[in-house]
Amino acid sequence: MSTVKDLDLLLEDYAKNHVPGCGCIVMKDGEVLYEGYKGLMDIEGGRPVDENTTFRLFSMTKVIICTAGMILFERGKFALNDPYYDYFPEYKDTKVAEYLGNGGWNIRPAKRPIRVKDVFNMACGLPYPSPNSDHPTDKGMNEIRKRLTEEKNGKYTLQDDVKAMGAVPIRFDPGEHWLYGFGHEMVAALIEKCSGMTVGEFLKKEIFDPLGMTHTAYRYRSEEERKAMTILYHINDDGSYEPMKGMMDDRHEPDAVYEAGGAGLFSNLKDYAVFTQMLANGGVFGGKRIIGKNTIDLLRANMLNETQLSEFRNTYLDGYGYGLGVRVMMDIGGVSNSTPGEFGWTGAAGTWTSIDPTNHFSVVYMHNTFPNNEEYHHMRVRAVAYGLLE
């Protein structure tokens, strides 16, 4: 088995040879097995990564958003098979862009409505659009974003965005394929519709405040919080680091209004570790219940058929399926020493989490670089962390 020293040495190697700085927390049954911070969060200023350093979560926001959505599910606010148009009538007459094979497109009615389940598990047919694509879905989404930016002077809201996207023809009939994209913005908008709060308010009330996650938010609330954010670095071909602006950094400003479902939160390792331990321990942490155990089991159940699994999997996701917004380990016969049912997700700049209810065990690792080199870093952290289990 591995030891905490092995994990310490691994992070030291990362900070010396691969990333400016990083951190990791491993917990089991509410207790910390390992906590380590290595390297620098600000090379130019010489500031080290420490317990107060915050990181852009990017898509690790999704695990929090889908948990919040399922809190409302278990309160009876929606059912997973409900048509999404029950909550957003803009999706009543969803169209599909069907390629004709001769360079043309047929825009036809969808065979069935987008359901709530489809937006959780990325089967709704709306991607993150490519800016240079000629596909009608991408073009439609890009044109809407451009129009909203002009009309709202850049200050359009999540509700503005999600409602407008109802007019866009989707890429396939709902539920037929898996396509990473806009679905979790739609989950966040559903949270707002069902709770009567902004998604940020709901997260604070139902998750962040009860768990004491005081360093997790969409927007800076103080100058100290701004200074705690790690510098985002681009790793050049020669291995040198160049500071860069994050693609969503403007949404962290106090006057920002867009609170996204698929990305946008920042957090530190301690906060996110507490969140993951709550999920690993049946929805309870520090004596406070956030969500039901059976609801967590539903969240982490594979929802993909064989066609969708082939669209989802790659070498990084070997052995995994996909639940209601999280990857879930199905087959450890591939490359993992984790546990069947282990679940989590990854952020675009290098954040990663693994949550294991079987062992009441969770791992949170963070760095902030582009490229993130996720397969190299995360698979090694996973191997060493799970080697700690007796």
Strand-pair partners of 329: 320
Nearest to 355 by CA among 346, 344, 347: 344
Half-sphere exposure (Cβ direction) of 340: Cα atoms closer than 13 Å: 5
- Write down the domain spans for the chain: 4-64+198-386, 73-195
Contacts of 146 (CB under 8 A, 6+ apart): none
* CA atoms 216, 217, 221, 225: torsion sign: positive
User: What average pLDDT score do residues 152-157 get?
Assistant: 92
pLDDT single digits (tens) 22-65: 999 999 999 999 999 999 999 999 999 999 999 999 999 999 99
Amino acid letter for position 139: K
pLDDT band of residue 126 (cuts 50, 70, 90) is very high
Q: What is the CATH topology of the domain spanning 73-195?
A: Methane Monooxygenase Hydroxylase; Chain G, domain 1 (1.20.58)
Q: For 296-323, what is each residue's pLDDT tens digit?
A: 999 999 999 999 999 999 999 999 999 9
DSSP three-state, residue 332 = coil
- pLDDT mean over 15-20: 98
pLDDT digits over 219-269, tens only?
999 999 999 999 999 999 999 999 999 999 999 999 999 999 999 999 999
Per-residue confidence band for 270, with pLDDT thresholds at 50, 70 and 90: very high
Decide if 96 contacts 169 (C-beta within 8 A): yes
CA quadruple 120, 121, 126, 131: dihedral, nearest 10: 100
Q: At what angle do helices 269-280 and 61-73 cross, to 10 degrees?
A: 40
Cite the beta strand spans of the chain per DSSP E: 21-28, 31-42, 47-48, 54-56, 95-99, 105-109, 232-235, 241-244, 266-268, 284-285, 288-289, 320-322, 327-329, 343-346, 352-356, 361-366, 369-370
Beta bridge partner(s), residue 98: 106
Q: How far apart are CA 312 and CA 307, in angstroms?
A: 9
Work out the angle at residue 356's Cα, subtended by the Cα atoms of residues 264 and 289, and round it to the nearest 5 degrees.
70
Give the tokens for residue 101. 């094979």
- pLDDT at position 1: 84
Measured on CA atoms in the order 50, 54, 55, 60, is the torsion positive or negative?
Answer: positive
Q: How many CA atoms lie within 13 A of 325 on its CB side?
A: 29
Cis peptide before 131 (omega within 30 of 0): no
Sequence length of the chain is 390
At residue 122, the pLDDT reads: 98
pLDDT at residue 154 tops 90: no
Q: Is the pLDDT of residue 171 over 80?
A: yes
Is domain 4-64+198-386 given the CATH code 3.30.365.10 in the classification?
no
Please say whether the dihedral angle defined by the alpha carbons of residues 298, 161, 248 and 195, taken in this order, is positive or negative.
negative
Q: Which residues contact 22 (CB under 8 A, 6 or more apart)?
A: 11, 14, 15, 37, 38, 39, 49, 350, 365, 366, 367, 377
In this prediction, residue 123 has a pLDDT band, given cuts at 50, 70 and 90, of very high
- pLDDT classification of 354: cutoffs 50, 70, 90: very high
Give the pLDDT confidence score for residue 102 in this predicted structure: 83
Quick one: tokens of 218?
Answer: 């969409």
Q: For residue 277, which of 30, 26, 24 has the smallest C-alpha distance? A: 30
In this model, does residue 121 exceed pLDDT 80? yes
Which pLDDT score, from 0 to 100, does residue 365 have?
99
Is pLDDT above 90 for 144? yes
Hey, do 4-64+198-386 and 73-195 end up sharing a CATH topology, with the first three levels equal? Answer: no
Residue 333 clears pLDDT 80, i.e. is over it: no
Pairing assessment for the beta strands 105-109 and 95-99 based on DSSP bridges = antiparallel
Q: So what's the pLDDT on residue 334?
A: 74
pLDDT in tens, 51-106: 999 999 999 999 999 999 999 999 999 999 999 999 999 999 999 999 998 889 99
pLDDT at 209: 98
What rounded mean pLDDT belongs to the chain? 97
